[in-house]
């Protein structure tokens, strides 16, 4: 099996990065993490990646000012140098230009802490609680120029409790993120997930027909 070469882009501690690295250690996983790159020097995830034996790179965005494409071209050079096949965004706090997204069309995925298409953007848990939703969750999707709007690969849900805060709800959602992101990467790397007519279709078995209802009765 030829494994797809993956780069993970981070800006912080990289908890989803760690979940991907752990999953990729399995002999049958169809991808290998060969590069972790950050736009912030000293991002916590860089040290974790190095401890796992993965090469790291830092291309700080600040020196490029408002020239976002120049920053992305520097990133692109690094990705090409490492012969990257797939890119995973894991807490990468930069809006990407259409130029960069186009370079990785169908080959770049992101995880978002909400059940898209609801709650695109920031502060998802606070907004979900303010709206009184009963089910919340996380989504892994292909990246397109529109933010948090690409074809959905995998979603996972949790129930929302009446006494939840953004922190307690976010902690449960994060546990789901750590489960579904490796699964999404496995599907994309193995060719089990692909885009047809703007929608992601999968050849993997669907989940059991168990229904999540909240509140329960």
Q: Is 14 annotated as a binding residue?
A: yes
Q: Mean pLDDT across the stretch 10-25?
A: 97
Q: Where are the domains of the chain?
A: 1-104, 112-204
Distance (Å, whole) CA 75 – CA 69: 10
> Is the pLDDT assigned to residue 92 strictly greater than 80?
yes
Q: Is 96 annotated as a binding residue?
A: yes
Q: What is the pLDDT of residue 208?
A: 63
Q: Is 214 annotated as a binding residue?
A: no
Give the rounded percent of residues in the chain with a pLDDT score beyond 90: 93
Query: Considering just the CA atoms, what is the radius of gyration of the chain in Å?
Result: 17
Under CATH, which number does the domain 1-104 receive?
3.40.50.170
Q: Is 94 annotated as a binding residue?
A: yes
Arithmetic mean of pLDDT over the chain: 96
Please tell me the pTM assigned to this model: 0.96
Q: Mean pLDDT across the stretch 127-138?
A: 98
The one catalytic residue among 112, 125, 136, 178: 112
* Residue 82 designated active-site: no
How crowded is residue 34: how many other Cβ atoms within 10 Å of its Cβ? Answer: 18
Q: What is the pLDDT of residue 207?
A: 63
DSSP 152-216: EEEEEEEEPPTT--HHHHHHHHHHHHHHHHHHHHHHHHTT-EEEETTEEEE-SPPPPS----SS-
pLDDT, one tens digit per residue, over 204-216 is: 866 666 788 999 8
Distance (Å, whole) CA 46 – CA 11: 9
Q: Do 1-104 and 112-204 come out as alike in CATH topology?
A: yes
Distance (Å, whole) CA 120 – CA 108: 18
pLDDT, one tens digit per residue, over 144-177 is: 999 999 999 999 999 999 999 999 999 999 999 9
Q: Mean pLDDT across the stretch 181-194?
A: 97
Under CATH, which number does the domain 112-204 receive?
3.40.50.170
Distance (Å, whole) CA 20 – CA 108: 14
Q: What is the pLDDT of residue 211?
A: 82
Edge-to-edge strands of the sheet including 86-89? 55-58, 31-38, 4-10, 86-89, 108-112, 135-142, 152-159
> Is the pLDDT assigned to residue 88 strictly greater than 70?
yes
Residue 89's nearest CA partner among 61, 114, 112 is 112
Q: Is 68 annotated as a binding residue?
A: yes
190: Cα separation from own chain's centroid: 17
Phi-psi group of 51: left, alpha or beta (phi > 0 → left; psi -120 to 50 → alpha; rest → beta): alpha
Distance (Å, whole) CA 88 – CA 130: 30
Q: Is 110 annotated as a binding residue?
A: yes
């Amino acid at each position: 099996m030829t494994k797809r070469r993956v780069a993970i882009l981070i800006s912080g501690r990289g908890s989803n990065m760690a979940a991907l690295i752990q999953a990729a250690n399995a002999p049958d996983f169809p991808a290998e993490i060969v590069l972790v790159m950050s736009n912030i020097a000293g991002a916590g995830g860089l040290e974790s990646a190095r401890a796992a034996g993965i090469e790291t790179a830092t291309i700080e965005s600040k020196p490029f000012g408002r020239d976002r494409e120049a920053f992305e071209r520097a990133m692109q050079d690094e990705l090409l140098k490492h012969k990257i096949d797939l890119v995973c965004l894991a807490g990468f706090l930069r809006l990407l230009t259409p130029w960069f997204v186009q370079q990785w069309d169908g080959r770049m995925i992101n995880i978002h802490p909400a059940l898209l298409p609801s709650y695109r953007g920031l502060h998802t848990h606070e907004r979900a609680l303010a709206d009184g939703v009963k089910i919340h969750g996380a989504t892994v999707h292909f990246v397109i120029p529109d933010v948090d709007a690409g074809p959905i690969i995998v979603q996972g849900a949790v129930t929302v409790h009446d006494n939840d805060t953004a922190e307690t709800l976010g902690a449960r959602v994060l546990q789901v993120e750590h489960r579904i992101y490796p699964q999404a990467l496995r599907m994309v790397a193995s060719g089990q997930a692909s885009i047809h007519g703007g929608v992601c279709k999968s050849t993997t078995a669907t989940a059991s027909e168990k229904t999540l209802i909240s509140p329960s009765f």
